């Protein structure tokens, strides 16, 4: 028996074991640090830095110092950073690939904190479009255009139209004069009348007289036919000239009015166009507040989603996988209690979370969270809580609500640039809101009620001046924040009665200026169109009268051309003569 045992080998084995234990005792912390950084980086989809890791054996715990998790959408900032973090982990679960944390405590937590160097991102997120405040303000055109700049603008149509109409009018006037020469002279008409009266006065009785009368009438008719043709030619020309000139005059009048209306619209503020003004002023600040409101979801949800995706990925045949035989069906990751203390804008908050996991159906309990504050002077009410549940199909549902009352705001910067700087000097803020997550889609809204507001506005140009005057008259307003989209990347919509209030105030401030500039435009447009209108309108009256006269002549000639001698002499003679007299001017 003693021959088959190799005693130096037994000693060597134990020496080897001791060496291995010493090696791990010396380097285990660093090995864990490297492993943890790598695993968290995969889960976070961006660089995770850990300064130091210490393992405690009883109870088994991991102490992490200076943890920084890069925000994959903004690599210059950390999504989450903590000065220290302690996780009491269940050792035996760890051995079979499960992470069960009994208690997680983190101090010095910072959200959206700037990194010393940008972190590496595993999968780059699409950058969000950002528009500079100044560009956004320019869209509202708060600076009024001058009358001169308006009149020089391409939108003014009256001067060009008047010029064109004047040229056409001059040509038509000439054409009309030419055509007018075709109308018979008064002497010629008198002559026709005298000759017809002579036929009637002759009262032919004998066939010879009748023949002579008929011949004379035929001669007159022949001459009248030629006259009628000339009158027809005049009518053909004059009709289109009168119609076109009338149309031009109407068009000039309409364009003049349209230009005036356009000027009025441009000079006056349309309150509808100011609906985004509050978004520009409060957008950045409200987005930051909304970010705080969604902090719990922001912290938990992406990590859980990424971890779940990592777990769901088919394991490599070269790496294998752990098969779960847990009869209690405990989750793969389960943080039973977490307590995070953080500083947000000079206030200390505590975020308590229970049952963080992505396998909620295994414990039949949602992840719950509550936010509390200890050093918020003057806050009359603060409730903030919610929950999150991910079912086996990976569908996320949850809810969150908050009530906040009595928050005194001081020197809250809204827009900060050299051209325009706006800040709330003092205001009292109350807020209430809620949101629901259903199958990963978020819907919710929050109301922010500001009272006793006092603004300060500084900057270059007239915009700050208008703003300052308008805002000084605003005392109370509401901001309504709408939340929608995927819960991992929510979208914000901002509505406010401040837009309407500001629009009304700006309208009142600018109304005097608007009227004087409008009068200037009216004068200019009137002088442009007056020259043409003073000529064209009286001329059109005359042309219409001549056209009517020509028409009467043409009708008179037509009737005479149908007349016969017997008719002239007998029953019809008087009537025809009367009508002819009327057509020819009652003489």
Binding site for other proteins (CB under 8 A): 3-6, 9-10, 12-13, 16-17, 92, 95-96, 315, 317-327
Please answer whether residues 436 and 398 qualify as being in contact, where contact means their C-beta atoms are separated by less than 8 angstroms: yes
Q: How far is the CB of 315 from other proteins (least distance, A)?
A: 8
Q: How far is the CB of 6 from other proteins (least distance, A)?
A: 5
Pick between residue 177 and residue 327 the one whose CB is nearest to other proteins: 327
Q: How far is the CB of 90 from other proteins (least distance, A)?
A: 11
Pick between residue 57 and residue 318 the one whose CB is nearest to other proteins: 318
Pick between residue 101 and residue 277 the one whose CB is nearest to other proteins: 101
Q: How far is the CB of 4 from other proteins (least distance, A)?
A: 5
Q: Which two tokens stand for residue 222?
A: 């022949």
What's the CA gap between 543 and 522, in Å, rounded? Answer: 30
Q: Length of the chain in residues, anyone?
A: 587
| Count of beta carbons in the 10 Å neighbourhood of residue 439 | 11
Alpha carbon 406 to its chain centroid, in Å, reads 33
DSSP string over 92-116: HHHHTT-EEEEEEEEEEEEEEEEPS
Q: How far is the CB of 413 from other proteins (least distance, A)?
A: 56
Pick between residue 94 and residue 160 the one whose CB is nearest to other proteins: 94
Pick between residue 4 and residue 393 the one whose CB is nearest to other proteins: 4
Pick between residue 292 and residue 334 the one whose CB is nearest to other proteins: 334
Choose among 81, 73, 474, 75: nearest CA to 282. 474
Pick between residue 4 and residue 116 the one whose CB is nearest to other proteins: 4
Pick between residue 120 and residue 321 the one whose CB is nearest to other proteins: 321
Q: How far is the CB of 10 from other proteins (least distance, A)?
A: 5
| Count of beta carbons in the 10 Å neighbourhood of residue 248 | 21
Pick between residue 17 and residue 211 the one whose CB is nearest to other proteins: 17
DSSP string over 200-217: HHH---SHHHHHHHHHHH
Q: Is the dihedral of CA 290, 295, 297, 303 positive or negative?
A: positive
DSSP string over 275-320: TTHHHHHHHHHHHHHHHHHTHHHHHHHHHHHHHHHHHHSPPPTTT-
* Side-chain half-sphere CA neighbours of 191 within 13 A: 11
Q: How far is the CB of 316 from other proteins (least distance, A)?
A: 9
Q: How far is the CB of 325 from other proteins (least distance, A)?
A: 4
Please answer whether residues 104 and 80 qualify as being in contact, where contact means their C-beta atoms are separated by less than 8 angstroms: no
Pick between residue 270 and residue 324 the one whose CB is nearest to other proteins: 324
| Count of beta carbons in the 10 Å neighbourhood of residue 265 | 10
Q: Looking at the DSSP assignment, which residues form a beta bridge with residue 444?
A: 435, 483
Q: How far is the CB of 333 from other proteins (least distance, A)?
A: 17
Give the Å distances, CA to CA, from 248 to 452, 529, 547: 59, 12, 18
Q: How far is the CB of 36 from other proteins (least distance, A)?
A: 18
What's the CA gap between 243 and 226, in Å, rounded? Answer: 26
Pick between residue 96 and residue 265 the one whose CB is nearest to other proteins: 96
DSSP state of 564: -
Q: How far is the CB of 101 from other proteins (least distance, A)?
A: 18
Kindly report whether the peptide bond that precedes residue 447 is cis, defined as omega within 30 degrees of 0: no
Pick between residue 185 and residue 317 the one whose CB is nearest to other proteins: 317
β pairing state of 333-344 and 99-114 = parallel
The b/e string for 536-569 (b: 16+ C-beta within 10 A; e otherwise) is beebbeebeebbebbbebbebbeebeebebeebb
Q: How far is the CB of 5 from other proteins (least distance, A)?
A: 6
């Amino acid at each position: 028996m003693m021959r088959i045992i190799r005693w130096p080998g037994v000693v060597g084995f134990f020496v080897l074991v001791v060496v291995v234990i010493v090696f791990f005792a010396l380097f285990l912390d660093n090995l864990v640090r490297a492993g943890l950084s790598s695993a968290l980086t995969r889960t976070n989809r961006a660089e995770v830095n850990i300064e130091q890791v210490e393992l405690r054996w009883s109870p088994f715990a991991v102490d992490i110092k200076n943890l920084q998790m890069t925000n994959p959408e903004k690599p210059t900032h950390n999504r989450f950073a903590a000065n220290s973090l302690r996780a009491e982990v269940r050792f035996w679960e760890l051995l079979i690939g499960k992470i069960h944390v009994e208690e997680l405590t983190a101090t010095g937590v910072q959200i959206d904190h700037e990194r010393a160097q940008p972190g590496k991102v595993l999968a780059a997120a699409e950058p969000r479009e950002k528009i500079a405040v100044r560009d956004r303000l320019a869209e509202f055109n708060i600076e009024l255009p001058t009358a001169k700049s308006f009149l020089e603008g391409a939108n003014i149509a009256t001067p060009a139209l008047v010029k064109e109409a004047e040229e056409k009018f001059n040509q038509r006037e000439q054409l009309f004069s030419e055509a007018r020469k075709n109308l018979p002279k008064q002497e010629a008409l008198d002559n026709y009348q005298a000759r017809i009266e002579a036929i009637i006065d002759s009262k032919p009785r004998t066939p010879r007289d009748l023949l002579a009368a008929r011949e004379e009438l035929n001669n007159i008719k022949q001459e009248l036919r030629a006259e009628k043709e000339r009158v027809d030619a005049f009518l053909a020309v004059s009709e289109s000239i009168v119609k076109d000139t009338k149309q031009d005059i109407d068009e000039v009048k309409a364009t003049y009015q349209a230009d005036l209306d356009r000027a009025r619209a441009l000079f006056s503020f349309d309150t509808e166009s100011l609906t985004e003004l509050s978004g520009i002023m409060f957008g950045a600040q409200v987005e930051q507040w909304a970010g705080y409101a969604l902090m719990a979801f922001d912290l938990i949800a992406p990590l859980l989603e990424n971890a779940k995706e990592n777990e769901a990925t088919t394991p490599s045949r070269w790496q294998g996988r752990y098969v779960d035989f847990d009869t209690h069906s405990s989750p793969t990751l389960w943080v039973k209690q977490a307590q995070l203390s953080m500083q947000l804008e000079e206030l200390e908050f505590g975020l308590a979370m229970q049952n963080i996991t992505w396998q909620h159906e295994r414990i039949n309990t949602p992840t719950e969270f509550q936010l509390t504050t200890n050093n918020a002077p003057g806050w009359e009410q603060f409730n903030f809580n919610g929950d999150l549940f991910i079912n086996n199909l990976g569908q996320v549902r949850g809810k969150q609500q908050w009530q906040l009352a009595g928050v005194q705001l001081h020197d809250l910067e809204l827009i900060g640039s050299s051209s325009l700087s706006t800040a709330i000097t003092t205001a009292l803020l109350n807020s209430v809101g809620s949101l629901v997550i259903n199958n990963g889609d978020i819907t919710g809204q929050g109301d922010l009620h500001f009272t006793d507001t006092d603004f300060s506005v500084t900057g270059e140009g007239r915009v700050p001046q208008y703003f300052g005057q308008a805002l000084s008259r605003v005392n109370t307003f509401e901001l309504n924040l709408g939340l929608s989209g995927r819960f991992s990347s929510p979208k914000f919509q901002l509505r406010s009665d401040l837009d309407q209030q500001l629009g009304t105030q700006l309208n009142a401030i600018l109304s005097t200026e608007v009227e004087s500039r409008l009068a200037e435009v009216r004068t200019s447009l009137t002088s442009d169109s007056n020259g043409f209108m003073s000529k064209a309108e009286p001329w059109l009256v005359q042309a219409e009268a001549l056209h009517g006269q020509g028409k009467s002549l043409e009708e008179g000639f037509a009737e005479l051309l149908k007349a016969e001698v017997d008719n002239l002499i007998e029953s019809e003679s008087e009537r025809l003569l009367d009508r002819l007299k009327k057509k020819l001017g009652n003489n």
